[in-house]
Amino acid sequence: MATAPNPEIRLALVVHPNLSVLSKFQETFKQAGMTTLLARDLPTALIAISQNDFEIAVISWRITEPGDGWALGATLRRIFPSAFVAVLANETSVPTLKEAINQGFDQLYEESQPAEEIATQVVVHFSKHPRPSAVQ
């Protein structure tokens, strides 16, 4: 028998091929009282998405191939319309910003920033603008 999700638990998904980056996000989110699921590849991310309801998702623009994070982020936006979805991009040029806007992402970060700084910015942004729970 399935149990109802705990509304007090904030669930975040971080998808990035670098284990060090994932670890830094997890630690920062944990300090903010969030539970974080980590994925280093697309299949693991898809399993996590199919079995959980996320309020926050941070996706690398490159998981396996350049640009595959854009498609995953767009999928997350479609499945969890009220989630905070951010993408870590290789650069933040006008075409990249346009792509992020067209996909409906909430935030775009340059991946050259330290992961701890980005994670802290996500926590601050989410705490100032909490989204309604994706689970009804």
Q: How many domains does the chain have?
A: 1
Q: What is the pTM of this model?
A: 0.85
- The more confident residue out of 125 and 3 is 125
* Structural domain for 62, as ranges: 16-128
pLDDT at residue number 60: 95
The string of pLDDT tens digits covering residues 15-59 is 999 999 999 999 999 999 999 999 999 999 999 999 999 999 999
Assign residue 31 the CATH number of its domain.
Answer: 3.40.50.2300
pLDDT at residue number 130: 64
Does the pLDDT of residue 84 top 90, yes or no?
A: yes
Cβ neighbours for 57, distance < 8 A, ≥ 6 positions apart: 12, 13, 14, 15, 73, 76, 80, 83, 84, 85, 86
pLDDT band at 2 (very low <50, low <70, confident <90, very high): very low
Within-domain flag for 11: no
